[in-house]
Structure 1
Amino acid sequence: MIKLSVLDQSTVVSGRAPAAAIAETLALARHCEALGYARYWLAEHHNSQSQAGTAPEILIAAIAATTARIRVGSAGVMLPHYSALKVAEQFRVLEAIAPGRIDLGVGRAPGSDGRTAFALNPLAETAAEHFPAQVRDLLAWVRGEPLIENHPFRSVAAQPAGPGAPEVWVLGSSNYGAEVAAYFGLPFCFAHFITDGRGTAEALAIYRDLYRPSARHPAPHPALGIWAFAAETAEAAEYGFASRALWRLGRDRGVFAPLPTPEEALAYPYSDAERAHIAAIKARAIYGTRDDTALRIRALAESHAVDEIVILSTIAEPAARRLSYTLLAEAFIA
């Protein structure tokens, strides 16, 4: 059985204020809980016209306080920007707000441009090199366990203390994240939607081959983060996907603009070269009717032997996005 979860980037849509994206995130989380999704994860991006989700830990608190069952977490906290202790403290507080429902997904990527990375951390040039050590310390602090012998901060504890702890994940789009997750015996989610599937099989093979069983996770737990969109008809799916296609065309050129509306996308004067690029984007994308989309998701999960899929749907119209998650819940959950 495939478990479905949600990834939300709080996408900014053309013509709408970025704050509207935050309101849509809060509403979608409640909707997806009612549908039976397992997790609701919030992304971290900075200095972006495309995404308004700069502080997943705050969104997690808001969602956890207004839901009752669904797990809520980060996908992820970009750890090199921050002190591992501060992140542990934030998520210990979140665990106290919603015991047993908090996921702490961490990543090494900047989630921003180079200048912004330095604005977040003046030591950004070398910060990523310390990612494994940060994960080591974070695990100890967030679980209330002692740090390694002779650690300069061994006497420092992350409050509030308590019997539970967030579930820590490593997120990545390369082999590096797979190796870190395997070393620490942690669940690993590969960002298939970033690479369009390139490197997925290799990263998951490395994760499984190098996995060191841990007390909390005696066996590897791989998951895939994918982009997918379902609609009631093929025509409606094409209409909604037009926004994603034009946005990806810009992203592939290094332009991170607000998500265009379908009307804007359909009115865009594509050149022949751009039409060819869009055709390639469409060929890789997972979208269509409920049954067609579900079939492709199942095939992807089976080909990589994963039983958890985290779905990102950047769709301009909130109603169409809610319907997509509803249709996929009917296919997998109901």
Structure 2
Amino acid sequence: MAGLRLSVLDQSPVVSGQEPAAAIRQSLELARHCEALGYDRYWVSEHHNSHAIVGSAPEVLMAAIAATTSRIRIGSAGVMLPHYSALKVAEQFRVLEALAPGRIDLGLGRAPGSDRLTARALNPHAMPGADDFPQQVLDLQSWVEGKPLSAAHPYRAISAQPAGPTSPQIWILGSSDYGAQLAAHFGLPYAFAYFFSDGRGVESALELYRRNYQPSERYPEPRATICVWALAADTHAEAERLVATRDHWRVRFEQGLFGPLVSPEEALAYPYHAGEQARIAQMRASAMIGTGAEVRGLIESEARRLGLDEIVVNTWTHDFAARQRSYALLAEAFQLQGM
């Protein structure tokens, strides 16, 4: 597929034997690496109270990435909006846009990105069960893009500063039909978290999004992407070895056991029972792993099947150098135009 664009989702994963803070520093290094390789966007996630994924403040990390890159788009994937004031998020992203004009993406999510207690601690004044997300998105869009709120809006006299000639791209993120329908209704781009569900539900979500899309001034046509988990190595056997780290983490995560990524050797030596082995086999059946050429074929096949012109790639390895190598091999396989 000529012209298929590749982007990056970085969740700042923690690996055994390192302090969590090292994951943030590696995110900065990986962002510079992926810009040099020719990737289109670099998105960072928001999670709280996690011992495995420690990107808790995407807007802060984005500012640091903006300061050390010059071309690649930088985004949140995403800001969990129900935790926050829409005005405060708008102001944060207006500042980011001032720092890196024309390079900022504001990905919005509705999920808590944490457990209930942590969600409560993040916003103790939120009303339990209340869902103001659609209204928050509308308010945020107006403030971010410098458009007036409705005449009846109680905050119509407020503007989000610093204003400027450009504004962030707003994306709705999700792994269910809800986000797809909301993005379609508001005429906004949509990103499906394919890696979260191993692709389950992607066809339904994209079909709903495209069928119900309401054209907007900025986005007259629907614009969608998916975020996949992929891993490339110099040989297929090496990719199989490296992916054992994620297999172990996923099995433990699905059992409610959270922790840092272990080495491939530790993962391969783990005494899985029959049910766990079956789950790993299921994940491997749909995994996008192999050499750069093999992973390119898998990504292109799914992009073609779903009618997409951009794919976002998420990669975890215990060894940071192997993670960097994976993105380099994909860039080479797709012939990205680096710096």
TM range (shorter): over 0.9
- Superimposed CA distance per residue, residues 148-204 of structure 1 (whole angstroms, 9 cap, x where no aligned partner): 121110001101011110011000000100011111111100000111111100000
1:302 is matched by which residue type in structure 2?
Answer: R
**Alpha-carbon distance between aligned partners in 2 of 1:258 and 1:15, rounded to the nearest angstrom:** 9
Q: Within 1, Cα distance between the matches of 2:150 and 2:263?
A: 52
Correspondence 1:196 to 2:194: no
For residue 223 of structure 1, give the secondary structure of its aligned residue in structure 2: strand
Question: Could you tell me which of 96, 106, 119 is aligned with 1:104?
Answer: 106
Classify 1:327/1:127 alpha carbon distance in 2 versus 1 (closer, same or farther; 3 Å): farther
| Matched-pair contact (CA < 8 Å) for 2:176–2:201 | yes
Contact 1:191 1:224 in 2 (8 A): yes
Look up the match of 1:241. Answer: 243
Aligned pairs for 1:32-181 within 5 A: 32-124=34-126, 126=128, 129-181=131-183
Contact 1:80/1:127, CA 8 A, preserved across alignment: no
Number of the residue aligned with 1:207: 209
Deviating above 6 A after TM superposition, structure 1's stretches of 4 or more consecutive aligned residues are none
Following superposition, the deviation at residue 125 of structure 1 comes to 5.0
1:211-226 mapped onto 2 (5 Å cutoff): 211-226=213-228
Residue in 1 that maps onto 2:303: 301
C-alpha distance in 2 between matches for 1:128 and 1:302 = 39
Change (3 A) 1:58 1:128: farther
Q: Does 1:257 align with 2:286?
A: no
Aligned AA (1:265): A
Structure 1 residue matching 2:6: 3-state secondary structure: strand
Cα separation, 1, equivalents of 2:227 and 2:191: 6
Aligned to 1:10: 12
- Is the CA contact (8 Å cut-off) linking 1:231 and 1:290 kept in structure 2? yes
How much is the aligned-residue C-alpha RMSD, in angstroms? Answer: 1.1
Gaps of 5+ in 2: none
Aligned residue number for residue 227 of structure 1: 229
Rounded to whole Å, the distance in 2 between the matches of 1:23 and 1:2 is: 29
Q: Distance in 1 between matches of 2:148 and 2:335?
A: 40
Sequence identity percentage: 59
Match of 2:334 in 1: 332
Aligned to 2:21: 19
Partner amino acid, structure 2, of 1:85: L
Q: Secondary structure at the match of 1:4?
A: strand
Q: Distance in 1 between matches of 2:53 and 2:273?
A: 27
The one-letter code of the counterpart of 2:243 is: F
Measure the CA separation in 2 of the matches of 1:169 and 1:120: 23
CA displacement 1:194-230 (0-9 Å, x = unmatched): 1111110000000001101111110000100110000
Unaligned runs of 5+ in 1: none
Displacement of 1:321 after TM fit?
0.5
Q: Deviation string for 1:287-316 (max 9, x for gaps)?
A: 111111111101111111111100000111
* Distance in 2 (alpha carbons) for counterparts of 1:117 and 1:252: 20
**1:249-272 deviation line (CA, Å, top 9, x unaligned):** 111112221111112112212223
- Deviation, 1:23, is 0.8
Deviation per residue, 1:107-147 (Å, 9 max, x gap): 10000011111111124454661100000000000011111
Q: Which residue of 2 aligns with 1:291?
A: 293
Letter in 2 for 1:36: G
Relative to structure 2, which stretch is displaced further, 244-253 or 262-271? 262-271
Structure 2 length-normalised TM = 0.97
**Residues 16-74 of structure 1 deviation map (CA, whole Å, 9 limit, x = unaligned):** 10001001100000000000000000000000011110000000000001000000010
Contact 1:81–1:127 (CA<8 Å) still a contact in 2? no
Q: Which moved more, 1:276-285 or 1:34-43?
A: 276-285
